[in-house]
Amino acid sequence: MAGLTYRGAGVDVDAGDDLVERIKPLAARTRIPELLGGVGGFAGLCGLPKGLEEPILVSGTDGVGTKLKVAFATNVHDSVGIDLVAMCVNDIVTCGARPLFFLDYFATAKLEVDVAHAVIAGIAKGCEDAGCALLGGETAELPGMYAPGEYDLAGFAVGVVDKKKLIDGARVAAGDAVIGVASSGLHSNGYSLARKTLLDHARLDLDAEVPELGETVGAAMLRPTRIYARAVRAMLEAGLDVRALSHITGGGLPGNVPRVLPDGIGVALDATKWPLPPVFALIQRLGDVALSEMRRTFNMGLGLVVVVPADQASRTIAALEGAGERAFHVGAVEAVPTETDFEARVRFV
């Protein structure tokens, strides 16, 4: 009678080794000059860029959330890897940081190498878009922890900024311009409400073509989060006085813009100044969702908000559009009473 084995307990070490070999060329495409070594060691090594007087490391971590449920249902797995990178990198660039490297954590009950490779190929694509290295990660096969065919993802990004160039929102003042940078749609937030509305309440099929979307429900829900690292770098290299940057994630505009504003400062936004992606209108209509609930759940078409002096608004938009983004002058900074509630510091006009 043969003894018990790790494979028999549900963990296939050979599959894990095969995945590592398939990942190596993906990671190689993301290599940056500061990188030391490659994938496969116990730790990833990365040096600091030269020429920084007082380098500050900036880090961020996030996941993809219940958007993964859509990937499982459609068997489309590469786009969520891009989301994973975007959600981490877009956070750290709000400090003016240059993303240096990214690590991922992929956990599943049973490792399906082709699925995992698709996910990590998306992660590598996200790293290329962000200009950072895929430094390493962890693949965990955990029998009994996850439902068959499902997995979870977490990501970790590290960047660097010279202390004298740190963007912290401290210099934001009344009269400054607010520039909005377009999102690609839902990004990776609000999926519990989006899925509840579109799939459970309205009973739409993920492969159904919806005229007001111009595509299938699944395609709209899986469109990857935009990565704004190159756009932020373009603004900074253009010499613009970027005073604050806000990544619009869970909590929407009211929940994120005030995070980068000094006390006694708010913003007035004109929602007619930027286009609303059709997926939001569909969710609002089919779920009879209040506008206030939409605004505090979703990005509503803006994935990044930039604050600059008013006389630099046009130059800022030009720099963002030159980096491949769509950008709009969406409002202005204004003084508010210091006791104003957090979310009320974002006023829609």
How far apart are alpha carbons 322 and 230 in whole angstroms? 10
Please tell me whether residues 111 and 218 are part of one structural domain: no
Is 338 part of a structural domain of the chain? yes
Please tell me whether residues 296 and 217 are part of one structural domain: yes
Residue 278: give the domain boundaries. Answer: 177-348
Helix axes 313-322, 229-237, angle to 10 degrees: 130
Q: Cα-atom radius of gyration of the chain, to the nearest Å?
A: 21
CA angle 332, 334, 337 (to 5 degrees): 155
Please tell me whether residues 97 and 207 are part of one structural domain: no
Is 170 part of a structural domain of the chain? no
DSSP E strands: which ranges in 183-227? 209-210, 215-216
Please tell me whether residues 216 and 325 are part of one structural domain: yes
Dihedral angle computed from the Cα positions of residues 94, 95, 98 and 104, in that order, rounded to the nearest 10 degrees: -70
How far apart are alpha carbons 87 and 107 in whole angstroms? 18
Res 3: pLDDT: 83
How far apart are alpha carbons 151 and 116 in whole angstroms? 9
* Helix residue ranges per DSSP H, the chain: 13-28, 67-74, 79-92, 113-130, 191-195, 217-222, 229-237, 252-256, 278-287, 291-295, 313-322
Strand partners, 328: 180
Domain of residue 201, CATH code: 3.90.650.10
Please tell me whether residues 193 and 246 are part of one structural domain: yes
**With contact defined as beta carbons under 8 Å apart, do 31 and 136 qualify?**
no
Please tell me whether residues 106 and 181 are part of one structural domain: no
Res 42: pLDDT: 81
Is 71 part of a structural domain of the chain? yes
Res 21: pLDDT: 85
How far apart are alpha carbons 307 and 177 in whole angstroms? 6
Is 8 part of a structural domain of the chain? no
Please tell me whether residues 186 and 55 are part of one structural domain: no
**With contact defined as beta carbons under 8 Å apart, do 129 and 159 qualify?**
no
**With contact defined as beta carbons under 8 Å apart, do 158 and 57 qualify?**
yes
Q: Which residues of the chain have pLDDT under 50?
A: none
Fill in the amino acid letter for 177: A
Is 45 part of a structural domain of the chain? no
Helix (H) or strand (E) holding 96: none
Is 125 part of a structural domain of the chain? yes
Q: Which of 218, 226, 148, 135 is nearest to 183 (CA)?
A: 226
What's the total number of domains in the chain? 2
Res 39: pLDDT: 65
Please tell me whether residues 107 and 30 are part of one structural domain: yes
Phi, psi of 306 (to 5 degrees): -120, 135
Please tell me whether residues 230 and 205 are part of one structural domain: yes
Res 5: pLDDT: 72
- Among 164, 197, 218, residue at a domain's last position: 164
Strand-by-strand arrangement of the 133-141 sheet: 55-63, 151-162, 98-108, 133-141
By three-state DSSP, how is residue 239 classified? coil
Structure tokens at 24: 């190596």
- Among 164, 189, 208, residue at a domain's last position: 164
Please tell me whether residues 137 and 206 are part of one structural domain: no
Alpha-carbon distances, residue 81 vs 56, 203, 288 (angstroms) = 27, 27, 32
Give 224-269 pLDDT, tens digit per residue.
Answer: 999 999 999 999 999 999 999 999 999 999 999 999 999 999 999 9
Is 1 part of a structural domain of the chain? no
Please tell me whether residues 186 and 151 are part of one structural domain: no
Tabulate helix, strand, coil % of the chain (nearest 5).
40, 25, 40
- Among 107, 136, 164, residue at a domain's last position: 164
How does DSSP classify residue 36? E
Query: Could you tell me the sign of the dihedral formed by the alpha carbons of 140, 144, 145, 151, in that order?
Result: positive
Helix (H) or strand (E) holding 66: none
Domain of residue 123, CATH code: 3.30.1330.10
Please tell me whether residues 245 and 146 are part of one structural domain: no
Is 110 part of a structural domain of the chain? yes
